[in-house]
Structure 1
Amino acid sequence: MISVQEARQRILSSLSALPPEQIFLSSALGRVLAEDVSARCTQPPVAVSAMDGYAVRAADTATVPADLTVIGEAPAGGGFNGVVNPGEAVRIFTGGPVPEGADAVVMQEDTERPDKKSVRIKLAPHEGKFIRPAGLDFSEGETLLRAGKTLNARDIALLAAMNVPWLMVRQRPTVAILATGDEVVMPGEPLGPSQIISSNSLGLAATVEALGCRAQILGIARDTPESLRQMATAAASADFLVTTGGASVGDHDLIQFVLGDEGLKVDFWKIAMRPGKPLIFGQLAGTPMLGLPGNPVSSMVCSLVFLAPALAVLAGKSPDAFERRGRAKLSVDIPENDHREEMLRATLQKGSNGDLLVTPYKKQDSSMLSKLSNADCLLVRPANAPASRAGEEVEIVFFPSSDLSL
């Protein structure tokens, strides 16, 4: 039985980022850049107005009010081809190119039109007022986004402005998910007298999708070598295989026995963690495989601790990309721990002095999904940790949020 840290290290050291692929910008939300991206244009391409108003020479408006002759217009997407000479002004609109000779813009609220041919400037602008110079945002050739960046909505807007219609990104890992056991059926299927609903497949698939990867639910393999062997072959095209159940050494725990004949090379099994002791990691015909326990809480917690960092590496991210740890103060006393690192489902609240308080559920049975669903975090109890008193600081792990952020 190996430690949590050693198990993570063995899993991650065996993996590398998937090859890149080219996609259209419209499909890039949540994807990971495989290469640096530089601007293909200058933004703005020329000096433009930041306001609707009048392009003027600041020297002509040093003393106000000042009456100037209006000699034309400079709309956005168009422009004025002439030159602004002393005593002249050009009607300009937001985004309109600043005409030659003008060095300031007066917004229209600070002007009057005595007649169609003239404008009265009531507020003197300084040189450069309300003018966005060429390249204010970025210049052609400037590298603005780096490889490894997970693209959010703001990045998509920037890339569009950079005139980048396609991107090289890391492939999204495809994760095949295979539940096992005669005792489980999918939601909505008829239940036998001793059967239960299989929650693992759907919970794991949702975890995989929330982490920006693709989930492929293979179904439920029954407790026969033939069924397991046949269904496992469907994972050949996946980048990662996850099984649930059958990871221990009981008569009906067939993962190692059956898949060993199909080329499964086991790196380790059994880890010093609660929940999640019977965990398998290896390679099945070249595909990384993680054999999770059948208990639903064990399965979900192990997916956060081991599967999430593995998928981060495959997607070209840092192993801890999906993990956020913190500190909180215990609201209750907790007993000493044994030789297994423990992940306790817990709730969080603010104390009267603003401290973050963590309260573990009294019942931590690994079959109780309701406690996992209502938990705010996992409270980490190191192996052989002594008893802790209320008020002591402990480590907590927040549940990862979706990658598709603004």
Structure 2
Amino acid sequence: MGLITVENAEKIIQSQTGGYGTEQIPYELSLGRVLAESLFADRDLPPFNRAAVDGIALAYRAYAAGLRTFTINAVQAAGEAPAAIPSTNDCIEIMTGAAVDPSVDTVIRYEDVEIADGRATVKDVAIRKGQNVHPQGKDCQAGGTVADAGRLITPALIGVAASIGKTDLLVQRLPKVIIITTGDELVPVGDNPTPYQLRRSNDVTVQSVLACYGIHADKLHLKDDYEVLKSEFDRCLRLYDVLLLTGGVSMGKFDYIPQALEHLGVSKLFHKVKQRPGKPFWFGTYQNQQLVFAFPGNPVSVFMCLHRYFIPWLARSMGVQTPSPQYAVLQHDIDFPYPLQYFAQVKLETDHHGVLMARAANTNGSGDFSHLIHTNAFMELPLEKNTFKKGEVYRVWPYNV
């Protein structure tokens, strides 16, 4: 099999999506996970008519009849039983969140009244019946759905779960992932490399990205030794759902990974994609649906392939409600005279019309990862073209967000 297109690579990877079951976890630990159940209100939300502002509560019919000064009958805080007025000449001082008694139906904020000697006088402002009252069940009635399964759990969703008493949430179980780096030239981050060695950063980068999605991946570094690679790959395929490899998949004499994987029975679904960066990308499956994403070793290639292929695969496997694709307007011409699909590093900004604009970085190839901290997306430029003009619109894949 020769080089395949980005589109075909995506289709092959997405065809391998599948869930990993579910688990119950405390809501405090659920941020960033995917909800695997729908949540239902255990009572009306809000559970009572509530004051939306601090002020006075009165019966609107008295105001409509021309009354402007009311006797303050009580002061009511949030959490207290609702206070009633004995007559329509009276009002209640009421705080935000307090329950509104049926004898009153309108709340006027403090800024619109004058209070003196136990009486409140409404200023010359427009008043509407029912204003500043949040009606019982207006947000959701008892038994109604407050969140659908498939949602990414955000702080707001956790707050909703807490409001209905859901202390534990059913979430999609995450795949067990190991990040494997290879190469004799790579040393641990804390070591002092020789003039011709490099500190390992790919595994740290990938692990950091996965942490944003709740995956706490293990790490392993292997030397360029064929027998060691086979042995360790065999062990990892029995322990993990997904192997994320970086390096050792190109055409070098020490790039043993494709051969080692295929020797173990990992089925190659493709090797090499018509793209830059990331052309040598290798992808395969093992007998129990384990997946192997073997990325090239260049840092930008790893970063791009991770965001373009692995993260969308993860979202689909977890049943996440996929957001619409993002597009941006290119801010200057780009020439790319190669028969490959180019992923340009760009800085996304929004102009005063709300249009998403993309300005490409002038990088030094797939080994130049320093620009990744100054950009925030890859712009996917079509394979069919070599010249891309200012003002044209193309899809973008955000990162650093």
TM value normalised by structure 1: 0.84
Q: Deviations over 1:90-132 (max 9, x none)?
A: 44433333334333345556253435xxx35445965434433
Q: What's 2:42 paired with?
A: 40
* SS of equivalent to 2:117: strand
Change in 2 beyond 3 A, CA 1:200/1:78: same
1:251 aligns with 2:263: no
Change in 2 beyond 3 A, CA 1:208/1:64: same
d(CA) in 1 for partners of 2:372 and 2:50? 55
Number of aligned positions between the proteins: 392
1:358-369 alignment, distance < 5 Å = 358-359=359-360, 361=362, 364-369=364-369
* SS of equivalent to 1:236: helix
Q: What's 1:395 paired with?
A: 394
Q: What's 2:300 paired with?
A: 297
1:180 shift after superposition: 0.9
1:8 aligns with 2:34: no
Q: What's 2:223 paired with?
A: 222
1:326 shift after superposition: 1.7
Q: Deviations over 1:129-181 (max 9, x none)?
A: 44332123222111121111112222222222233222211123332100012
d(CA) in 2 for partners of 1:368 and 1:19? 39
Change in 2 beyond 3 A, CA 1:59/1:392: closer
Amino acid at match of 1:365: G
Q: What's 2:117 paired with?
A: 114
1:9 shift after superposition: 0.7
- Say what the alpha-carbon RMSD is for the aligned residues: 3.2
Q: What's 1:317 paired with?
A: 320
1:82-97 alignment, distance < 5 Å = 84-97=86-99
Q: What's 2:335 paired with?
A: 334
Gaps of 5+ in 1: none
Amino acid at match of 2:260: V
1:103 corresponds to which of 102, 105, 108: 105
Amino acid at match of 2:187: V
Q: Deviations over 1:280-335 (max 9, x none)?
A: 111234311111112222222222222121222232225x65x9542323523515
1:182-331 alignment, distance < 5 Å = 182-192=184-194, 194-218=196-220, 220-232=221-233, 233-234=235-236, 236-286=238-288, 287-317=290-320, 324-329=325-330, 331=332
Q: Deviations over 1:26-85 (max 9, x none)?
A: 2222121112211112122222333444443333443334454x5555432222576634
d(CA) in 2 for partners of 1:160 and 1:101? 31
d(CA) in 2 for partners of 1:352 and 1:45? 42
Matched residues, percent identical?
Answer: 26
* SS of equivalent to 2:208: helix
* SS of equivalent to 1:168: strand
Q: What's 1:344 paired with?
A: 344
1:13-24 alignment, distance < 5 Å = 13-24=15-26
d(CA) in 2 for partners of 1:342 and 1:106? 60
* SS of equivalent to 1:380: strand
Q: Deviations over 1:200-223 (max 9, x none)?
A: 1112112222344332212x1112
Deviates more, 1:169-178 or 1:59-68: 59-68
Q: What's 2:174 paired with?
A: 172
d(CA) in 1 for partners of 2:7 and 2:239? 29
1:123-162 alignment, distance < 5 Å = 123=123, 126-162=128-164
TM value normalised by structure 2: 0.84
Deviates more, 1:187-196 or 1:84-93: 84-93
d(CA) in 1 for partners of 2:199 and 2:179? 16
d(CA) in 2 for partners of 1:400 and 1:271? 21
| Contact map agreement 1:50 1:131 (CA 8 A) in 2 | yes
Change in 2 beyond 3 A, CA 1:395/1:108: closer
